[in-house]
Every structure is written in structure tokens, then in C-alpha cells.
Amino acid sequence: MNYRSRQKRGQAPTFFYAPADQIDETSLTLSGQEAKHATTVCRLAKGSQMTVTDGAGNAYDCEITGVKRGVVHADIVRAHRRLGEPFATVTLAVGVGKPATVDWIVEKGVELGVSSIVPIRCANSVSGLSDSAAAKRRLSRWRRLALGAMKQSLRSVRPDVHEIMSIDDARTLIDDHQMSFIADPDGQPLSIAAHSHVQMTKSLLFVGPEAGFTNDECARLIDAGAVPFSLGARRLRAETAAIVSLTLLLKELDEL
């Protein structure tokens, strides 16, 4: 339903993206696909209003002054800092399964407000991740999807998508976060599991691939400090478990 569509009616249906080197104090340009999207799909032209973000927390309300040779030129009317961004910093560490599933989790994770995404190679990951060409293709696809979801959800920070790492490397991330969580049928509801941790400005959430983390992987993550929490009595598919976990965590962090 494009939640917020009514509130945002009259605004451009998306944010546009320009890298910092195309932005100065009073004006900016859109080029390439962004310019094409603005002029062809959204039919913006001289005099149109739009909001552009640099993906680093800056967003600019602009007025288009002209379109020349496929480049959109605009004057900055107003600057915002961290528009659409959550207060909480959430890292989503996701076991790499089938392409469609991970793509979808990346997109929804960014929409919901994660700060960064860490793809993990684990025992039940799909094969082919050691072929670095295939892994690179998937990584650049996730980064494109993260950019698109940032614009679509009206965020101003483009979440990092890290290179695929081993579960042992991902495990060391637990020490860098105030709280880490992992869905586990034996865990308690998240609101109870996280109860004593009022200050969780920086948290880490592990979600497994389709076939799950192995018992051993789960035990090692929990041993390193990840708190197990339950997702209710029904069995959820990987992508459902990912989004439900993230929703519950963001609710606990007062972002929902």
C-alpha cells in the first residue's frame, strides 16, 4: 500500500541519489540512470521539485533548473540531515541462501531501517559462493537493491552491504555490538530475551539461510553472546523469519 503514501502525496514518489561529488553548496546534478528515472519514469522537468540524497545521511529538497544531455541540474532549496533514518543502529547478518530469498531480505531489511548487511557463508549456504565472480555479481546486485530500497523507503543513508564473510568472522562482530540476537525455537519471546537491555543503540541480528544454521553454528553464535529468541509456534520460511525477527527487534528498539 506504500505505507505513508497518503502523508507523502504530492511529493515525488521516491528519493533520487547523487554521489557527494555531484553536490555542492547550492546545487547538484543527477546523471545516468538517476537522471533517466527522474525525467522518463517520474516525468520531472524544469521547475519540478524533488528530493535527492547522497546516501551518507544528507538529503536535499531541490528544484530542477534544467536538463541537458541527460544530466539533470537542480538548485538546492533546503538541506536535511539523516532524514528518514532510525535512531537505532541494526546490523543484519544473513546466511546466504537462494538468490531470490537473499535479494528479498536485503530489500526488506533496508526498507525497515537496517544500517548494514553482512552476508554470511555458512554450512547450509548455497554452493558457488567460492567462485569469486559469482559472489561479486551477487554482492553488486545486493548493493544495487540496497540503493533502490533506500530511495523507495525515503531514507537518506545507503546501508553498507559487506563482502560475504565466513560465519567465524561474523561471530567476531558480536563483540562490536551492544546486543546480538538469533532466532531459536528454544528461545524466549524477544521482549523477554531483550528485557534487561534498555540501551541497545547498536545491535546485531543473525538470520539463517533456507536450511537454517546448523546446531553447531547456532551454539557457537550463542556461546559468543548472541541471545536466542523464539518466533512463535509456527514454522516460518527463511524470508518470513528474517523480516519477522527484524520487525520484533525494531519494535523493541521503539522504531515501530
Rounded CA-CA distance 156/52 in Å is 9
Q: Total number of residues binding a second copy (CB under 8 A)?
A: 56
User: Does 180 participate in binding a second copy (rule CB under 8 A)?
Assistant: no
Residues 62-91 that bind a second copy (CB under 8 A): 84, 86
- Minimum distance, C-beta of residue 69 to a second copy, in the bound complex (Å): 32
- Minimum distance, C-beta of residue 73 to a second copy, in the bound complex (Å): 27
User: Does 119 participate in binding a second copy (rule CB under 8 A)?
Assistant: no
Among 34, 53, 108, 158, binds a second copy (CB under 8 A): 108
Give whole-number Cα distances, 108 to 50, 129, 195, in Å: 24, 22, 26
Among 137, 185, 197, 225, binds a second copy (CB under 8 A): 185
Among 98, 144, 210, 220, binds a second copy (CB under 8 A): 210
Binding mask 19-58 for a second copy (x = CB under 8 A): ----------------------------------------
Among 218, 222, 226, 227, binds a second copy (CB under 8 A): 218
Q: Which stretch binds a second copy (CB under 8 A): 18-26, 52-60, 139-147, 226-234?
A: 226-234
User: Does 212 participate in binding a second copy (rule CB under 8 A)?
Assistant: yes
- Interface residues toward a second copy, by CB under 8 A: 1-8, 84, 86, 95, 97, 108, 111-113, 152-155, 183-186, 189-191, 207-213, 215, 218, 231-238, 240-244, 247-248, 250-251, 254-256
